[in-house]
Structure 1
Amino acid sequence: MARTPITDMTFSSIYPLYLQKVARKGHTEAELNTVISWLTGYDEQGLQEQLKSAATFSTFFAQAPQINPHASRIKGVICGVRVEDIEDPTVQQIRYLDKLVDEIAKGKKMTNILR
């Protein structure tokens, strides 16, 4: 079975997994949406439109109103790779989001997550 590159996965198929991860640790959808908004610039309506559109991660990030200029402050390891060392910009943005979701799940303070 061929693996789908992460950039070709739909954001709407991964969002529920993010939500499950934060909810298992006692956190809320609002917190998840806050970090997504911080990273991408989507407001609640824009985020809901992306979820309904079945946009791939590539499209989701390409259409983002504005990637936060402080996103490069996100450091750490996701899937065994340092996010700051990822060369493909879209993959790096996806991994930034993964890292932010991990930080919510770990109970990090929102003020620290939003650098």
Structure 2
Amino acid sequence: MSECLFCQIVNGEVRAKLLYEDDLVVAFDIPKDQTWRQAPLHFPVVPKEHLPSAREADARHEPALGRMVTVAARVARQMGVEPTGYRLVSNTGDDAGQTVFHLHLHCLGGRKLGPEG
């Protein structure tokens, strides 16, 4: 079993409510009882290939990175927050607040967001 939580979700070793899955990326819900949930709508989109952060990304990762954005938009639309807006954010490194070292794009919405989220 991988030590990376997001790899465990991608591989089906840890259960998660999948919102989207294809050959490159997975989007999954964060349960409402999780203390690190930042908004009424909060889901990460992650590449299936383990990539610690944006620092390690290169041209071969472009298909998955682009797909992360389009999937976030698709799921946000399906969840009904597209008309009022949502935020996409990715933290890179300790100083940015990255806590899971598998590149991921957070989609936050469902309420008016302030400068800090």
- TM-score if structure 2 supplies the norm length? 0.29
Is the helix fraction higher in 1 or 2?
1
Is the strand fraction higher in 1 or 2?
2
